[in-house]
Every structure is written in C-alpha cells, then in structure tokens.
Structure 1
Amino acid sequence: MSLETDLLVDRRLLRRKLTLWRVLAFLFLAAALLVAYVTLGGNASFQHRGDHIARVKVSGFIGDQTANLKLFDAIARSSAKAVIVDINSPGGTTTGGEALYDGLRKLSAAKPTVAVIDGLGASAAYMAALGTDHIVARRTSLVGSIGVLVQYPNFTRLLNTIGVSVEAVKSSPLKAAPDGVSPTSPEATAALASIVNDTYAWFKGLVRERRGYDDAGLAAVSDGRIFTGKQALDLKLIDGIGDESNAVAWLSQARSIGRDLPVEDWDKPSTSSSFPFARAAAWLADSAGLTVLGDVLRAAPEAQPAALDGLVSVWHP
C-alpha cells in the first residue's frame, strides 16, 4: 500500500472520528440543556410526578398573572391531589386579582384548594383567596381591605407657581381626564367614581357569593378596613385560624387527602419572550466559569416592566 493511500485512509478514519465526537458533543449539550431547563423550573410538570400536595405562592404586588395561570393549568393536569395557595400580599391591580380568582376557581374544579394567609391577604390578594375552597389565616394576619381605588397626582398649583402651563387639544372634555396638570372637573371626577363604584360592586358581589353574607354582614366587612385573622374569623371572612398544617388537616378531613403526602413547591414558569432556555444557558455559563455571561442571561427574562392598570385593590399603611 502506497504512502498516499495510507494517508487517505488515515484521513477518512480521522474524519469519521471527528464526526462521531461532534454528534456526541451535540447530544451531550442537548441533554445538559434539557436537564438544566427542568432543574431550574423550565417545566414544572417534569418535576412533580408522584402523588403530592402542590404549594403555590402569591406574594408581593399582584399584577399580570400570565405565569400563575399557566402554573394552575399545569397543576390541574398533574398528579397533585390538592393545592395550598400561600398568600402574603397587599393586593394589586383589580385585573390581576380577577385573573387570580378566575384561575383558582377553575383549578378548584379539578383539585381541592386551600388558601393560607401568612402575614397579609388584603384587597386583590383576598380576592384571590376567595377563589379557593377554604381559607385559613394566622391569628395576627391582616385580612380584608375590600375596596377599589384610583389615585393620581395633581400638579396644577406647582405649575402655576413656577409659571408653566400645559396646552392640549381634545376630542371631548373627558378625554385623558384627569391629566394631573389642570384642575379635575366635576364631570371627570364623576366618571372616575362610576368606574370605581362599578368595580367595587363587583368585588362585593364576589364576597357575598363566596362567603354567604346578607346585606348587613356584607356592609360590616366591605368598608375598606383590614381585620386581624381572629376578627376575620368572627366576621366569616375566613374559615379557620392556623397555618399550612391546619390546611393539610382540613384537606384530610373534608376532602380525604392523605395527611402523609409531601407538600411540594410549584414555581411559576417564565413568561419572557426571550430565548426560552436562558436560565439553562446561564447555568451552563456558570459551570464553564463564565459568571458574568450567566448573570446577563439570568437577568434578561426578568427585564420586562410590570403591568399596572388604572384601578387597584391594594392596602398599605
């Protein structure tokens, strides 16, 4: 066999080896991405296969609920036997609270649900609790604040002081009113009041329906104030005093859910429109020592601004 033939054979063997290693490297990378994606919460249903009680958390300001609604759908299809909704929130937008309520009513049709108010369950957060089958709160938790609010600053006097005026051409007097740079007309105030009152009546209707109030009972709890857990129990805003263990006990007694089932956290999926494997890629970057790149990849999905509508159901001191 000539030297040229030997070189040709060696080259072909080397090319085959390189192709094999490329295929293996690609398969390894794909497997690593999948493992990292699942490990970091990319698909919650992959992580929860055995019988268990799902725990979801509603905390902080309640705004866009796309991620939670996806989570509820995944839990409804999962092997979870029941759901505990851990609530610690002052409320938020009325649309966010409405979405949570509707999502939890839908989830409750598939799985028994219990809300545990740990610390604060006010306004839109209490609206969410109404969507569950049973509500438990600690004795000193703050519950209630049933109401709706529109707030806006008015800089008219400040602008007059510094000699600034804002001119506008409107299609009608109530367009973009109030604008904060001119006195609010009685007509604009009345228009806003009608929106607030309409939403407030809807909120009170949920409370009446879910908690079984008559007119007098509803009036006693819907003036916007907050109550302690003990007061809320006396007023029938909640069903019991306690914590997660009491929620599990109720599930066992009322819905025949095993007390020994593990309670597992379900994390919200990312709603970012950026690269869907960003978190997995960040994990791989960290593993390779590229921590700065990892930080950038992790931050990208969270860079979206929170949505905020005009009506809020929120409590703060």
Structure 2
Amino acid sequence: MTAQDIDHIINHISLRKSRRRWRWIAIILFVIGLIALIANLAGTGLPEREHVARIRIDGLITGDQASIDLLQRVTKDDKAKAVILRIDSPGGTTAGSEALYDEIRAMSAKKPVVAVMDTVAASGGYIAAIAADHIVARGNTITGSIGVIFTFPEVSRLLNTVGVTVEELKSGDLKAEPSPYKPVSEKARAYSMTLVEDGFRWFKGLVVDRRKLDAAKVDALADGRVFTGRQAKAEGLIDELGGEEAALTWLKTEKKLPEAIEVLDRRPPKPVSEELFGVSIGSRALDWLGFPHIAQMAERAKLDGLLVLWHPAL
C-alpha cells in the first residue's frame, strides 16, 4: 500500500466523520426548531380563564399586521374581560397610528380599555392612548406632541461634490416630489404642506372628540410640544396619574370587574429564531459583524410619508 493510498483512506474516513457530525447537527437543529415551533403555536392559544389582557405597544408604530391581528384576536376573546394597553412609544407613521387607533376603538366597543403610559407616549403613542376609555400616566411620563411632520433627505450638494447627476423623466411636476436629488421646489413644498395640514386637522379632531376639549384649547396645545404626565393631567389630556394599579382600580370600580381577576400578557407570536435565542438571527448577526445600528436604521427606513412621531431623527 502506497502513501497515496493511506492518505486517500484517511481523507475518506475524515470525510465520513465530518458528514456524520453535520448530519447530527442538522437533526439536533431540526428537533430544536420543531420544539420551538410547537411552543410558539401553543403560546398563541387563548387563556382558558377570565382575565384582563395586557397588550404592550412599544417602539415605532407602523400598523404592522402582527399587532393588528393581536388586537383583533383579543377583541374576539370572551375570556378577556378588559384590556390594559401599556404604551411606551414616541409614535410612528400617521397611517399606522390611524390603523392602531381604529382597532382600539373597535375593541372598546366590546370591552373596557385603559391606556397606561410608561416612559413615553407621544404623538402616535398619544393617538393610541386617546383611543382607550381611560388614560393613566406617571407624573414624569412624556406625552403630547400633537402634530404631524413630513421629513425627507436632500442630498443634491453631496451628489454635486462627487460628480453624480440624476436625470428624471416624469409625467407631472409633482410626481415623486419632494425629491432627495434636488432642492425642493416651492410648488412641491406648498403641496407637501397641504398633506401635513390635513393629517394635523385629523389628529386635532381626535383629541377634541376623545378628550372632550374645546377646539380652541386643542389648537393652543397642538404646537408640537410635549408634556409631563402632571402637565397633561392639568390640561385634560389624560385622566389620572399612576400606573397599572390605578388602571386596575378604575376597571374594578367603574366597570365592576372582580377583585381577584388577574392580568395576563397577550403578545403576538414571535419568529422561531426569537423563541430559540431571544433575538432575531439577523439582528444578532449584525451585532457580530460590528454593525449594531443597521437594524435600527432599517426600522427607521419604514417611516416613509407623514409621521406622528416625537424626535423623527431617532
């Protein structure tokens, strides 16, 4: 037997061991994934006892389907006798906030809903809150920011610096305006402002209707400023200072819920990767590669169009 034959046998044995190892790894990952999937599906089942459903509205509001589906599922659940919305959000898109508002109002037609503001419930977060039947906030909660903003980049000077020209062929002056490739025209600016003003009238109308405030007073409050919970209470923008205990007390006193009723978290189902690792694989991979902010930038990129958002740059 030659040395070449021995090398061939060794390589063959190593290859078989490698295949066997990877086969076992694949089987283990498949079993783990199957267990996580079963657990995930089981977690979406309805609780069998009467309860107050706790639903969290966190981060940017985009009207994502998972959140809408959760609200609809809890609305239809006869075991959920009331709902506590825990809001910690600076807002998001105007359309997404509208979708969330509509779903909360539909829920309120079937069962009592209380909003509990945490650190921030501003702009679109405040829209979600006023859809509820009762609003509770901490004294130092940041809320308000009644207003609409339309932001867009303008990079024409940067393109000129690097020698890039963008040509456009379009059917009308206002098609794809404002454009990031050239300074905004007065015509485009004026028309974009009509969109902002229309969304602003809608937002103020919600506050007037839901908070039973005089339109002139809402006009005075709706300059985009934020309020602490204490200031918001004084202005009539919220109902009560406190936390979840205050919300439960209101439900038991005003809506006659049983004293012993428990509060259960209701969440949208997570992707299997998050069930396994507590974080999405994509986000973890970006962290490993040294780009932790790309996932945040991708989330921010969803915010196209009109925004009801406090600090859009964030």
**What's the TM-score, normalizing by structure 2?**
0.77
Contact 2:204–2:219, Cα closer than 8 Å, also in 1: no
Partner of 1:15 in structure 2?
none
Matched, 1:314 2:313: no
Task: Quote the residue 1:90 is aligned against.
Answer: 90
1:77 Cα deviation from its structure 2 partner: 2.3
* Cα separation, 2, equivalents of 1:42 and 1:171: 52
Does residue 62 (structure 1) correspond to residue 61 (structure 2)? The answer is yes
Letter in 2 for 1:239: D
Counterpart in the other structure of 1:11? none
In the alignment, the residues of structure 2 paired with residue 36 and residue 239 of structure 1 have an alpha-carbon distance, to the nearest angstrom, of 42
Task: Give per-residue Cα distances to partners, 1:267-292, cap 9 Å, x unaligned.
Answer: 1135x7xxxxx46xx97xxxxxxxxx
Q: Equivalent pairs: percent with the same residue?
A: 42
Report matched runs for 1:127-146 at 5 Å.
Answer: 127-146=127-146
Mapping 1:64-83, distance limit 5 Å: 64-78=63-77, 79-83=79-83
Output aligned runs, 1:297-308, within 5 Å: 299=281, 307-308=302-303
Cα distance, 1:38–1:238 mapped onto 2, change above 3 Å:
farther
- Counting only pairs closer than 5 Å after superposition, residues 170-249 of structure 1 correspond to structure 2 as 170-249=170-249
Equivalences, count: 268
C-alpha distance in 1 between matches for 2:103 and 2:214? 26
Contact persistence 1:38–1:44 (CA under 8 A): no
Alignment of 1:27-46 (within 5 A): 37=37, 39-40=39-40, 44-46=44-46
RMSD: 2.8
Long gaps (5+) in structure 1: 1-28, 273-277, 284-293
Q: Deviations over 1:235-286 (max 9, x none)?
A: 011000000000000001111012321111001135x7xxxxx46xx97xxx
Change (3 A) 1:295 1:58: closer
Seen in structure 2, the aligned counterparts of structure 1 residues 155 and 243 have a Cα distance that, compared at 3 Å, is: same
> How far apart are residue 133 of structure 1 and its match?
0.5
Q: Return the alpha-carbon distance in structure 2 between the equivalents of residues 92 and 224 of structure 1.
A: 14
Report deviation, 1:141. Answer: 0.2
* Distance in structure 2 (CA, Å) of the matches to 1:211 and 1:298: 39
State the Cα distance separating 1:185 from its structure 2 match.
0.7
Note the C-alpha offset of 1:74.
1.5
Preserved CA contact (<8 Å) 1:248 1:259: no
Query: Partners of 1:178 and 1:212 in 2: how far apart?
Result: 37
Tell me, in whole angstroms, the C-alpha distance in 1 between the residues paired with 2:65 and 2:100: 10
CA separation of 1:164 and 1:39: change in aligned 2, threshold 3 A: closer
Match of 2:292 in 1: none
Q: Cα deviations across residues 182-211 of structure 1 (Å, max 9, x unaligned)?
A: 121110001100111111111111111001
Partner of 1:265: 265
**Corresponding residue number in structure 2 for 1:287:** none
Task: Return the offset for 1:165.
Answer: 2.3
What CA distance in whole angstroms lies between the structure 1 residues aligned with 2:143 and 2:133? Answer: 17
Q: Which runs of 5+ in 2 are unaligned?
A: 1-29, 286-294
| 2:121 paired residue number | 121
TM-score, scaled relative to structure 1:
0.77
Q: CA deviation at 1:43?
A: 5.0
Q: CA deviation at 1:178?
A: 1.4
Contact 2:150 2:307 in 1 (8 A): yes
Task: Name the structure 1 match of 2:27.
Answer: none
Q: Is the contact between residue 40 and residue 269 of structure 2 (CA under 8 Å) also seen in structure 1? A: no
1:37/1:257 CA distance change after superposition, 3 Å = farther
* 1:37 CA drift (Å): 4.4
Q: Secondary structure at the match of 1:116?
A: strand
- Indicate conservation of the 8 Å contact 2:59/2:88, yes or no: yes
